[in-house]
């Protein structure tokens, strides 16, 4: 399908109306005459979704003071609830993580722990699940409770405001 060259009549009318708003023209240029029927331009602004930056394991997030981060990262903030994913398939584990975090957030639990075990599949997938658009707004920070224990992750949930 070939595109017609040039502007349509509606485009010319719109351009003529716009050119009337300009205060300075280039030398040798004149304004186009405005015709009576200028189509109204409706600007619709969609709500802008604020997207939180991706959460990283053992990375200090913005919006959390240093002392709270130190307590959380060192394991001094105890987990109120724990989810053990040993023996789960990736699909079942993903489903369990979503429901566990949504329930903990609804109950206004501040700190939870998810045990993935040292297996590489669940431990590798968990950060991706936590950064999913449905869960990311609930999470403030993620850290291993101890440097030697990479099979467990503590999650600091945001407060409900």
User: What pTM, to 2 d.p., does this model score?
Assistant: 0.65
Q: Are strands 81-84 and 111-115 parallel, antiparallel or unpaired?
A: parallel
What CATH number is attached to the domain comprising 94? Answer: 3.30.1370.110
The answer to the question of residue 50 being in a domain is no
Q: Compute the distance between CA of residue 65 and CA of residue 63 in angstroms, rounded to an integer.
A: 7
Burial state string for 51-74 with b = 16 or more CB within 10 A and e = fewer than 16: ebeebebeeebeeeeeeebeebbe
What is the per-residue pLDDT for 24? 67
Which residues span the domain enclosing 31? 1-44
User: Domain check: are 110 and 151 in the same one?
Assistant: yes
pLDDT in tens, 90-131: 999 999 999 999 999 999 999 999 998 877 788 889 999 999
User: Domain check: are 78 and 146 in the same one?
Assistant: yes
pLDDT in tens, 46-81: 565 556 678 888 888 887 889 999 998 888 899 999
The answer to the question of residue 124 being in a domain is yes
The answer to the question of residue 78 being in a domain is yes
């Amino acid at each position: 399908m070939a595109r017609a060259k040039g502007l349509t009549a509606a485009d010319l009318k719109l351009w003529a109306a716009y050119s009337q708003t300009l205060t300075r023209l280039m030398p040798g240029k004149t304004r186009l005459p405005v015709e009576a029927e200028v189509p109204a331009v409706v600007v619709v602004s969609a709500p802008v979704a604020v997207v939180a930056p991706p959460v990283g394991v053992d990375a200090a997030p913005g919006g959390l003071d240093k002392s709270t981060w130190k307590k959380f990262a060192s394991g001094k903030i105890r987990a109120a609830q724990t989810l053990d994913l040993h023996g789960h398939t990736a699909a079942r584990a993903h489903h369990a993580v979503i429901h566990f975090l949504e329930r903990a957030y609804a109950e206004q639990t501040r700190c939870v722990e998810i045990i993935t075990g040292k297996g590489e599949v669940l431990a590798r997938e968990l950060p991706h699940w936590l950064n999913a658009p449905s869960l990311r707004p609930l999470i403030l920070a993620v850290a291993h409770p101890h440097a030697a224990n990479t099979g467990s992750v503590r999650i600091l949930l945001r407060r409900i405001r």
